[in-house]
Amino acid sequence: MTATPADAGRRPATLRSQLRRALLAAAVALGVLVLCAVTATVQVVRAQDDVTELYYDAITEANDGYVRMLDAETAVRGYALTADPVTLEPYAQALGGSGESTAALADELAADADLFASRERAVEAARRWVVEFAQPTTAAVQTGGTAAVTPAQIERGRVLFDATRDAVETYLDDIRERRTDAIDDLHRWTTILVAATAALALGAAVVGLALWTTLGRWVTRPLAALAADARHVSSGDLGHPVRSTGPGEIAALAVDVETMRQVLVRHVDEAASSTAELGRAHRLLTEQAEELQRSNRDLEQFAYVASHDLQEPLRKVASFTQLLQKRYGGQMDERADQYIEFAVDGAKRMQRLIQDLLGFSRVGRMSGQTVDVDMADALAEAVSNLDEAVAESGATITHGDLPVVRGERPLLVQLLQNLVGNAVKFRAPDRAPQVRVTAWRSDDAWQFECRDNGIGIDEQYAERVFVIFQRLHAKDAYEGTGIGLSLCKKIVEYHGGHIWLEPPDDTPGARIRFSLPITPDPEPAADDAPPSALDAPETTDDRTPAPGR
């Protein structure tokens, strides 16, 4: 039967409620057996204490007392016949027995009124013999000798002692009777304890078997059936229904799985119906991607050709305007000279712009040879290309240990030349430029930093400075085409790296960083350790420099 949401109202009792009832019944049954076993254990211990301690001590005490009384009676009769004090020693020892143990035993026997009364009668009979016969007789012999005791007194003593013996024997009989009853109780409760223990073990086994059977019927078999249905569905048979069986929770799970199967079937149907549409869209996207690649190639070719072809007429314009300025400068009015100067300046700037644009378009399009490039040598070549600007500004160019990287040497030289040239160009008016290039290894890349002490770059322009043709100053303040840093960005990304502007710290100037990947088996000229205190990048950020490039 296929489970549906409508079956929710007819779901069986929940597994939790069924298990609660089963466990409660098992707990009650086992609790009764445990209670019986505990009760039997307590009774066995009590009966065992009575047999081995209470009644045993009582019999021992009665026997010892009776023996002492016999010794005392013999001693008194002998003393009455001989008047020899030595014969009274057993009598004195009998009267000096332990009183503490007798008092403790009397307290324990007080719970049994009849037995306690029998004991008191024996004690009273012994006391009467001592008071009414033994003490008067020994006193009379001590005073008057053997003649002081009459036969009537001796007979009186015998009668009193017989009464004492009878009382003690009656007391002993009562104790033995109680001890026999206690032994019977011990046997009976021991039998009950053994039976209760066996019943408890059997009950635990029965409860365990019942729980195992119950869990099999309520949990494992329904889950096995649900798992079998789920395996059919997961193997690809999406039409196989998931049946709802077992208690409430498992039945609800089966309903949820069946609902999921039906939703999956719908999704598969929808996916199947959209596969053709997706295929068509993929083919269209492939065609568009190919068209876009072709368009990009055409655009790059157009940019290269346009910039290259523009140079020839521009050279003529520049040459003739310069000749015009040289030959006729000063021969016309001031405004004419100014117009000629504007034309010459515009032609020169147009030449620089076309050259920079041509170089920008070459990156990635006209690939050169990839070699091991010593960045220290590349920096030296870049500084050599900037000799005139460095000498004019009085700049100081230094560097730390620089590694060897894989790349196109002309592009890496151009990268360093643009960074150092920018640092020299955008110098502060009140100090000579100082530029330092450092590098250190970080994970799988070399990190480079070009730091200067110039006017700096405001942090808000961190992304804008790397966009082509973006200038932060008027062209009459700092010359340039706005391509320098964008060309650096294109060179670094062409080599698989990343370039960015570091936030300003507490020193003047700008910090531009870039990374280049480390190729397998590099031959670095720099240590793999972090940069020294001189080369390490500073991270403080407590100033806002003036806008720069």
Report the C-alpha gap between 173 and 210 in whole angstroms: 54
Q: Does residue 112 share a domain with residue 12?
A: yes
The domain boundary residue, chosen from 332, 362, 392: 362
Q: Does residue 184 share a domain with residue 67?
A: yes
> What's the one-letter identity of residue 88?
L
CA 82 vs CA 77, 86, 122, 132, 342: distances in Å = 9, 10, 29, 20, 169
Q: Tell me whether residue 460 is in a domain.
A: yes
The mean pLDDT of 350-363, rounded to a whole number, is 61
pLDDT of residue 402: 92
Number of domains making up the chain: 3
Report the C-alpha gap between 515 and 500 in whole angstroms: 9
Phi and psi torsions of 310, nearest 5°: -70, -20
Does residue 315 register a pLDDT over 80? no
Do 365 and 307 form a contact (C-beta atoms < 8 A)? no
If you write DSSP's letter for every residue of 327-390 in order, what string do you get? HHTTTS-HHHHHHHHHHHHHHHHHHHHHHHHHHHHHTTTS----EEEEHHHHHHHHHHHTHHHH
Q: Tell me whether residue 254 is in a domain.
A: no
Q: Tell me whether residue 339 is in a domain.
A: yes
pLDDT of residue 365: 57
Q: What is the pLDDT of residues 22-48, one digit of tens each?
A: 788 888 888 888 888 888 888 888 777
The CATH code of the domain that includes 280 is: 1.10.287
First to last CA, the chain: 77
The mean pLDDT of 170-191, rounded to a whole number, is 84
Quote the tokens at residue 192.
């009950």
Q: Which one is predicted more confidently, 202 or 77?
A: 202
CA 160 vs CA 16, 83, 122, 150: distances in Å = 81, 21, 12, 16
Which residue is associated with the tokens 């700037």?
349
Q: Does residue 392 share a domain with residue 357?
A: no
Q: Does residue 547 share a domain with residue 467?
A: yes
Q: Tell me whether residue 235 is in a domain.
A: no
Q: Does residue 167 share a domain with residue 60?
A: yes
Q: Tell me whether residue 305 is in a domain.
A: yes
Computed on alpha carbons and rounded to an integer, the radius of gyration of the chain in Å comes to 60
Which domain does 394 fall in, by range?
Answer: 367-549
Region class of 434: left (phi > 0), else alpha (psi between -120 and 50), else beta: beta
Q: Does residue 196 share a domain with residue 290?
A: no
pLDDT of residue 522: 46
Report the C-alpha gap between 99 and 122 in whole angstroms: 16
Which residue is associated with the tokens 């009590």?
46
pLDDT of residue 456: 73
* Residue 10 CA, distance from chain mean position: 43
